[in-house]
Structure 1
Amino acid sequence: MQYNTNEEVHRLNEREIVLLKTYKSHFTNNYNLLHPNSKRGLKNYFTKNINYMNEVINRGISRVPFRTYLQGVKAGVDYLKIFDKIQI
């Protein structure tokens, strides 16, 4: 993914990268626990988020401040936790 030169980027420190890796594993675990029908419905959502998390981890930079980005990842983990429960 290319970054625009005028786009603000935020460098991650080692602690932030470790924290993001932890949340990435929570995100993956919660996705893997989903019912197969739910998994199919969320495949694009999951793949897009995992790919971006990998990019942030590998490059050590994020397009949004780390705290804001981590809140988004936490919300994604919670979303996956409740997604199965709201399926009819």
Structure 2
Amino acid sequence: MKILDLEELAALLGRRPETIKKDIRRNPCAVPPRLLHIPGTRLLRWRDVDVQAWLAEHVVGGDCLRKDGWCVKAVGSFETQD
């Protein structure tokens, strides 16, 4: 199981780490849920399988997956859930 840190997630989503930190508090639907919590730390970590599942649900239009399963398009639009 691969674990992504904030910088790796930012690179994958094509966003700055600072923006992701802000979105965690202000707009949590704009980032994958942080399901991995390491007790005794405040580290931000995501499991790659959770991020891939989130991307599959939120990426709109086009075929964006490489052979290894990672999304290579910038995530620019999200479906809203009313």
Larger CA Rg, structure 1 vs 2: 1
Q: Which has the higher contact order (CA 8 A, sep 6+)?
A: 1
- Structure with more of its chain in helix, by fraction: 1
TM-score for both structures, normalised by structure 1 = 0.29
